[in-house]
């Protein structure tokens, strides 16, 4: 059984690497119909593996759980690679934003199936009002020279409190009007249909991402002024604070449905492979277009040399904050997708120790390599969390804990043998930077000089 499982797992990992290469190749093809057919085929191949034909299923429940975990982890890791690999900001807060997105999205759908639309209304209105507030305060600050960072942060914080209070008022005003359309558990209303539920799920995941992004904006505004090492310590503290709030959601925070340290149950399991694949491709497209734009070049210039970038007119603080916000947005989306797959959220999932996993995966894949992040996410989950855990489990009940010894040893060996990561800066297919050929001009004939 051990040899068969070992060979089968290795073949699955190799097949997943080929699947990633095929997906990126199809997305990067010049012809649009090849893109469409390739992406649909990539989706269909995995969907076929998840479909059961009688007693046969290529990807069982265990492999299915690993697949969805790898897809959500890839979103988190891509966001962290944007922050750390492309912008050079050492962050340990990505797991905290992952948890924020998970809890926010889960609370929206949990309330909805209970006949309460206040979650969607409050978070939706709050996200919009917060965005307008950030734009308005930013416009005001831009016209005041020399305003200290903490003064700007105070204005943003007061604006956030006002936006939150207004959002709660909007939710209380509109929610009763939607109650008849939602119905109850015994008699579901029109808005409890399958189509409506998936629509709410989509908005819940997106709003979870935006909520995490706006939280990252408020947190990053004063903290990003610190150096890279101190910034990493501050983000680690942020993850611990978020985890502490999760444990006390039913006491300190007014969310009894989250049940604090006991864990939130009853989350509708709405995540299918279609949605996991859709959001993963969406994150890949956004990040690829950002990195290959002029903004992406400015982000990487900050990583290489802040002084030189500042001399060239690049806004150092603005690019750091933008990168931190977008990376946190990716983590929030991954959290929302994960919450609706597992159907249960526990604060123990979002501890600061688990927050080191995305950082390890980024280093494994290669700093500054989107392909490396994707390949390492799927390889890490299927090899270390899948294959290694099962093999060690056969040695005894305490043997799986040796994974936490193998992780750092493997990372140490990688740093010694290949410090640039498994793929370094290699990119596949769609993620490759286009090479623009420069047309050479023909040498101009010198004007003939008349002989005297």
For residue range 147-191, what is the model confidence (pLDDT) as tens digits?
888 888 999 999 999 999 999 999 999 988 888 888 776 777 788
Q: 2-50+60-115+183-428, what's its fold? A: ABC transporter involved in vitamin B12 uptake, BtuC (1.10.3470)
pLDDT at 406 over 70: yes
Average pLDDT over residues 309-320: 90
DSSP assignments along 332-374, one per residue: HHHHHHHHHHH--B-GGGG-TTTTHHHHHHHHHH-TT-HHHHH
- The residues, ordered by sequence, that sit 6+ positions from 78 with a Cβ below 8 Å of its Cβ are 283, 284, 287, 330, 370, 373, 374
Tell the residue number behind the tokens 């989706």, with chain if given. 43
- Of 204, 202, 368, the closest CA to residue 287 belongs to 368
CB of 208 within 8 A of CB of 65? no
Cα of 134 vs its chain's centroid, Å: 22
pLDDT of 342 reads 92
Long-range contacts of 59-65 (CB under 8 A, 24+ apart): 62/386, 63/12, 63/386
- CA–CA separation, 125 and 120 (whole Å): 8
Measured torsion, CA atoms of residues 7, 9, 12, 17, in degrees rounded to the nearest 10: -100
In b/e form, how buried is each residue of 103-116, taking b as 16+ CB within 10 angstroms? bbbbbbbbbbbebb
- Of 97, 129, 124, the closest CA to residue 330 belongs to 97
- CA–CA separation, 75 and 175 (whole Å): 33
Cα of 116 vs its chain's centroid, Å: 28
pLDDT of 451 reads 56
Helices H / strands E in the chain, number of each: 16, 0
SS3 264: strand
327: left (phi over 0), alpha (psi -120 to 50) or beta: alpha
More confident residue, 386 or 70: 70
pLDDT of 452 reads 47
pLDDT of 443 reads 54
For residue range 368-385, what is the model confidence (pLDDT) as tens digits?
899 999 999 998 888 877
pLDDT classification of 252: cutoffs 50, 70, 90: confident
pLDDT of 440 reads 57
- The residues, ordered by sequence, that sit 6+ positions from 343 with a Cβ below 8 Å of its Cβ are 265, 266, 267, 268, 269
pLDDT classification of 441: cutoffs 50, 70, 90: low
For residue range 95-143, what is the model confidence (pLDDT) as tens digits?
999 999 999 999 999 999 888 888 999 999 999 999 999 999 999 988 8
pLDDT at 38 over 60: yes
pLDDT at 249 over 80: yes
Tell the residue number behind the tokens 């629509």, with chain if given. 199
- Of 51, 49, 102, the closest CA to residue 73 belongs to 102
343: left (phi over 0), alpha (psi -120 to 50) or beta: left
Q: What is the pTM of this model?
A: 0.91
Name the average pLDDT for the chain: 87
């Amino acid at each position: 059984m051990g040899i068969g499982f070992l060979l089968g797992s290795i073949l699955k990992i190799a097949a997943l690497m080929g699947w990633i290469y095929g997906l990126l190749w199809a997305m990067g093809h010049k012809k649009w119909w090849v893109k469409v057919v390739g992406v649909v085929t990539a989706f269909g191949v995995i969907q076929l593996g998840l479909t059961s034909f009688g007693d046969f299923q290529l990807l069982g429940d265990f492999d299915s759980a690993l697949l969805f975990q790898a897809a959500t982890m890839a979103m988190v890791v891509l966001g962290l690679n944007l922050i750390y690999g492309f912008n050079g900001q050492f962050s340990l807060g990505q797991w905290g934003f992952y948890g924020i997105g998970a809890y926010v999205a889960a609370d929206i759908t949990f309330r909805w199936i209970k006949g309460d639309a206040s979650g969607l209304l409050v978070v939706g209105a709050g996200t919009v009002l917060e965005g307008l507030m950030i734009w308005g305060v930013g416009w005001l600050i831009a016209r005041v020279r020399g305003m200290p960072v903490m003064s700007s942060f105070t204005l943003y914080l007061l604006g956030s409190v006002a936006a939150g209070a207004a959002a709660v008022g909007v939710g209380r005003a509109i929610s009763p009007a939607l109650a008849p359309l939602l119905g109850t558990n015994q008699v579901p209303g029109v808005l409890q249909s399958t189509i409506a539920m998936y629509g709410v799920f989509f908005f819940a995941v997106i709003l979870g991402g935006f909520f995490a992004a706006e939280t990252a904006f408020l947190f990053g505004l004063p903290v990003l002024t610190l150096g890279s090492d101190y910034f990493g310590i501050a983000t680690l503290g942020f993850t611990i604070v978020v985890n502490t709030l999760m444990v006390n959601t039913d006491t300190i925070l007014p969310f009894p449905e989250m049940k604090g340290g006991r864990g939130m149950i009853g989350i509708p399991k709405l995540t299918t492979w279609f949605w996991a694949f859709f959001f993963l491709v969406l994150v890949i497209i956004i990040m690829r277009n950002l990195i290959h734009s002029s903004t992406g070049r400015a982000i990487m210039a900050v990583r290489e040399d802040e002084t030189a970038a500042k001399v060239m007119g690049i806004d150092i603080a603005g690019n750091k904050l933008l990168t931190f916000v977008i990376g946190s947005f990716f983590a929030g989306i991954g959290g929302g997708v994960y919450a609706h797959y597992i159907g249960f959220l526990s604060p123990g999932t979002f501890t600061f120790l688990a927050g080191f996993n995305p950082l390890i995966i980024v280093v494994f894949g290669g700093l500054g390599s989107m392909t490396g992040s994707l390949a390492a996410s799927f390889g890490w989950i299927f090899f270390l969390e899948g294959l290694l855990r099962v093999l060690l489990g056969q040695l005894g009940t305490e043997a799986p804990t040796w994974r936490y010894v193998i992780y750092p040893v493997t990372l140490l060996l990688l740093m010694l043998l290949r410090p640039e990561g498994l793929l370094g800066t290699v990119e596949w297919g769609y993620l490759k930077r286009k090479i623009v050929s420069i047309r050479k001009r023909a040498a101009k004939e010198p004007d003939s000089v008349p002989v005297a």
